[in-house]
Amino acid sequence: RQTRLMSEAQERFRHLTTLRNAAQR
């Protein structure tokens, strides 16, 4: 649970990269 840090890394499972790349497209 402390996934929280990986999400925080996008602001200031590690699927997160895929989601961001898709959104940026």
Which helix (H) or strand (E) is 15 found in, with range? none
CA angle 2, 16, 22 (to 5 degrees): 160
Residue 11 buriedness (CB in 10 A; 0-12 / 13-18 / 19+): exposed
Footprint of another protein on 1-25 (CB under 8 A): 1-4, 7-8, 10-13, 15-25
Least distance in angstroms from the C-beta of 14 to another protein: 9
In the complex, what is the shortest distance from the CB of residue 6 to another protein, in angstroms, rounded to a whole number? 9
Please work out the total of residues on this chain that contact another protein, with binding judged by CB under 8 A. Answer: 21
Binding site for another protein (CB under 8 A): 1-4, 7-8, 10-13, 15-25
